[in-house]
Chains A and B, each alone.
Chain A
Amino acid sequence: MFPEIIDTRPLRRAVDDSLNWVVRNWGGAFEAAAHPLLMLLKSIENLLIATPWWLIIAILVGIAWLSTRNWKLPAVVFVALLFLGVMDLWNDAMTTMALMIAATLTAIVISIPVGVWMSRSLNVRKAITPILDLMQTLPSFVYLIPTVMIFGPGKIPALIATIVYASPPLVRLTDLGLRSVDPAVMEASRAFGTNPRQRLLGVQIPLALPTILAGVNQTTMMALSMVVIASMIGAGGLGYQVLQGIGRLEVSRGLFAGLGIVALAIIFDRVTQSFGKQLQARIGLAEAR
């Protein structure tokens, strides 16, 4: 036994009490603050569900074609979407897709500026890196429960948990991408009298875009991997079907809903990757790496 050096019970109690205090006094304020997030998620979800299935298939297949300019990826996307429809998972898939898209959009808005900030200052990087590590490794239930206590079960805590889990790779890859821009190019830009904003928007971000897009790809994948946990607190969607399958020992339900998540993952992974490759080829990094 490790000897008891200090009594940790007061500390634990303090943490628990302060959370309760926050829930009692600030719960409403937090909920109001998170309302825009909920609106974003709701409107995406409503839009996806209201759109006829054939139009969604057409749009996604079209995007897939744009990203590769050949028929293979569009065919894969088509089959994956058909699977979701045939297996009676369409509406659940749209709910899950909405959660993923809302989380990814929010993550992009938050992570890219943070990544830019990190790339500018060593101290900021030193401060933020451990936070990112924490966000990625802390078991999600640990922060899921306080969020549920504050916001109540439903879509908001699910979305927040997904954002917390899915943002770090985008922050890291934005930082990495910006820092690995060829110093010779940056110096040339400086020598021509650019200000920091011109360098960021005109040189760094365009050249780091393939790396940033790889981060977006990672974020979508991690957001999808959170759907089962998110559905435990009321996110619904494919994750909920998996949960029900487990609960009722209906292997088939869990299996098909699980495969549905995989189908979504394949669609978004391949499409974002292809866009990344296209960009890389355009700025000529494909050969250099």
Chain B
Amino acid sequence: MNATDTLPNKTVAAPATAPAITPDRDLAIAMRGVTKIFGDDPQNALSLLQSGRSKSEVQAETNHVVGLDNVSLDIAKGQIFVVMGLSGSGKSTLIRHVNRLIEPTAGEIIVNGKDVLKMSLDELRTYRRTQVAMVFQKFGLMPHRSVIDNVAYGLEVRGVDTKTRLREAAKWIEIVGLSGYEQSQPRQLSGGQQQRVGLARALAMDTDIILMDEAFSALDPLIRSGMQDQLIELQKSLGKTILFITHDFDEALKIGDRIAVLKDGALQQEGKPEDIVLRPANEHIEEFVREVNKARAIHVRSIMDRGEFDPCEASVSKDSRCEDVLPMFAEHQWVGVLDADGHQIGRITLKQVIKALARYTPQPAETPPTLG
């Protein structure tokens, strides 16, 4: 746990000139004021954008497309950070900035304390070979290589000898559940299996950071759900930092430790999943939230009354969600919430649950908690 984790809700209104990053040991990725404009003369469009024009105004005036608009993000080590947005929101552009597949027009990107944008070409290659691995929506497997050679690809580029890299590759193929397919060609596998190869290829790199660009979007729902579970398991056991891009809010809620929502290249809201569900920052996010199964998205701990109460007859763990606690109210008025050691840390009533599940209507009096 760290500073950013306790920040309940942050509505972003970043200043035009973002402050320089002070290196933070707990941050895996830090982005400050990252702006990307596609076109021949981005500087001109950039100054227009910075003078307060909107994405569509800039596009109409200069015929330049704004990919990212002043995005600042802090991604702490060891968490699954989900960036969510509809197509065209700039989320795929955002993730490609982390390993500099796309150069920003302005801004700062610090990964593991190093400024990615100041790296020379050689340093950048070393950085890509050793610190960030990536999984792609369209898999990006090499059709002329067998599954095991695909998984070993990153290690091969890194210069690992054949024996070691094949042993590593075989290990990860087994972990993602593809044993027996080592010598198959990628085209002989189903979509889900191909993406497991893509995942194994990234995991075999054993980097601290894994970038996943709509990695599960091309898969059908059941397989996707299975892959999500597997990803959560893997993250628990390996403790990687995973930056995950998706257009699916349910997916974001299921796997994300924190979620950032992008629209038109600009950050709309960043926070824990339940913060976004309970307190959507604007109408755009409210629209997403409306479609969500809130009973599954909201943890009881985020809506309970904290404090010392008489022990309740029924109780649940603090990791349970509203849907787990709802049936208990048939018999009980209060349900206790227990921490990992079994101590009661608070209690919850049916009223609180109903209030959380009811449709959110912004109340002007409510002020979002400030950064503490």
Contact code string B124-139 (vs A, CB < 8 Å = 1, else 0) = 1111111011101011
Contact of A184 among B139, B153, B186 (CB under 8 A): B139
CB–CB A184/B140 < 8 A: yes
CB–CB A188/B127 < 8 A: no
One of B110-118, B141-149, B284-292 contacting the partner: B141-149
Across the interface, which residues of B come within 8 angstroms of A206, CB to CB?
A: 144
Given known contacts A192-B129, A198-B157, A203 and B142 CB-to-CB distance under 8 angstroms: yes
Chain B proximity of A278: nearest CB distance (Å):
13
> Which residues of A from 214 to 243 have beta carbons under 8 Å from B?
none
Q: How far is the CA of A288 from the CA of B187 in the complex (A)?
A: 10
Chain B proximity of A267: nearest CB distance (Å):
28
Across the interface, which residues of A come within 8 angstroms of B99, CB to CB?
A: 191
Given known contacts A192-B153, A193-B157, A194-B157, A187 and B140 CB-to-CB distance under 8 angstroms: yes
Q: How far is the CA of A187 from the CA of B211 in the complex (A)?
A: 13
Contact of A193 among B158, B185, B186 (CB under 8 A): B158
Q: Does B154 contact A (CB under 8 A)?
A: yes
Q: How far is the CA of A194 from the CA of B158 in the complex (A)?
A: 9
Interface range for B: 20 to 34
CB–CB B144/A207 < 8 A: yes
A198 nearest in chain B by CB position? B157
CB–CB B128/A188 < 8 A: no
Q: How far is the CA of A194 from the CA of B99 in the complex (A)?
A: 13
CB–CB A192/B157 < 8 A: yes
CB–CB A284/B127 < 8 A: no
Across the interface, which residues of B come within 8 angstroms of A134, CB to CB?
A: none
A209 nearest in chain B by CB position? B144
Chain A proximity of B185: nearest CB distance (Å):
6
Q: How far is the CA of A190 from the CA of B129 in the complex (A)?
A: 10
Q: How far is the CA of A192 from the CA of B205 in the complex (A)?
A: 9
Q: Does B222 contact A (CB under 8 A)?
A: no
Across the interface, which residues of B come within 8 angstroms of A191, CB to CB?
A: 99, 101, 128, 132-134, 136, 140, 211
Given known contacts A198-B157, A283-B143, A284-B186, A193 and B125 CB-to-CB distance under 8 angstroms: yes
Across the interface, which residues of A come within 8 angstroms of B132, CB to CB?
A: 191
Across the interface, which residues of B come within 8 angstroms of A283, CB to CB?
A: 143-144, 185
B153 nearest in chain A by CB position? A192
Q: How far is the CA of A282 from the CA of B185 in the complex (A)?
A: 9
CB–CB B154/A187 < 8 A: no
Chain B proximity of A255: nearest CB distance (Å):
45
CB–CB B153/A185 < 8 A: no
Chain B proximity of A203: nearest CB distance (Å):
6
Given known contacts A198-B157, A287-B187, A185 and B126 CB-to-CB distance under 8 angstroms: no
Across the interface, which residues of A come within 8 angstroms of B143, CB to CB?
A: 182, 185, 207, 283-285
Contact code string B170-199 (vs A, CB < 8 Å = 1, else 0) = 000000000000000111000000000000
> Which residues of B from 72 to 128 have beta carbons under 8 Å from A?
99, 101, 124-128
Chain B proximity of A286: nearest CB distance (Å):
9
Contact of B141 among A185, A287, A288 (CB under 8 A): A185
B158 nearest in chain A by CB position? A193
Tell which of B124, B138, B140, B186 has the most Cβ of chain A within 10 Å: B140
CB–CB A282/B128 < 8 A: no
Given known contacts A193-B158, A284-B185, A287-B187, A188 and B134 CB-to-CB distance under 8 angstroms: yes
Q: Does A70 contact B (CB under 8 A)?
A: no
CB–CB B144/A193 < 8 A: no
Across the interface, which residues of A come within 8 angstroms of B133, CB to CB?
A: 191-192
Q: Does A195 contact B (CB under 8 A)?
A: yes
Q: How far is the CA of A53 from the CA of B360 in the complex (A)?
A: 89
Across the interface, which residues of B come within 8 angstroms of A189, CB to CB?
A: 140, 142, 153
Across the interface, which residues of A come within 8 angstroms of B134, CB to CB?
A: 188, 191-192
> Which residues of A from 169 to 214 have beta carbons under 8 Å from B?
182, 184-185, 187-195, 198, 203, 206-207
Tell which of B127, B130, B138, B186 has the most Cβ of chain A within 10 Å: B138
Q: How far is the CA of A198 from the CA of B128 in the complex (A)?
A: 14
Q: How far is the CA of A18 from the CA of B222 in the complex (A)?
A: 76
Across the interface, which residues of B come within 8 angstroms of A187, CB to CB?
A: 101, 136, 140
Across the interface, which residues of A come within 8 angstroms of B138, CB to CB?
A: 184
Across the interface, which residues of A come within 8 angstroms of B153, CB to CB?
A: 189, 192
Q: How far is the CA of A189 from the CA of B144 in the complex (A)?
A: 13
Across the interface, which residues of B come within 8 angstroms of A207, CB to CB?
A: 142-144
Q: How far is the CA of A285 from the CA of B140 in the complex (A)?
A: 15
Chain A proximity of B83: nearest CB distance (Å):
17
Residues of A within 8 A of B (CB): 182, 184-185, 187-195, 198, 203, 206-207, 282-285, 287-288
**12 chain-A/chain-B pairs, Cβ below 8 angstroms:** A187-B136, A191-B99, A191-B140, A191-B211, A193-B129, A193-B154, A193-B157, A198-B157, A207-B142, A207-B143, A284-B187, A287-B187
Residues of B within 8 A of A (CB): 99, 101, 124-130, 132-134, 136, 138-144, 153-154, 157-158, 185-187, 205, 211
Q: Which 7 A-B pairs have the closest CB atoms?
A: A188-B140, A193-B128, A193-B129, A284-B187, A283-B144, A184-B138, A191-B134
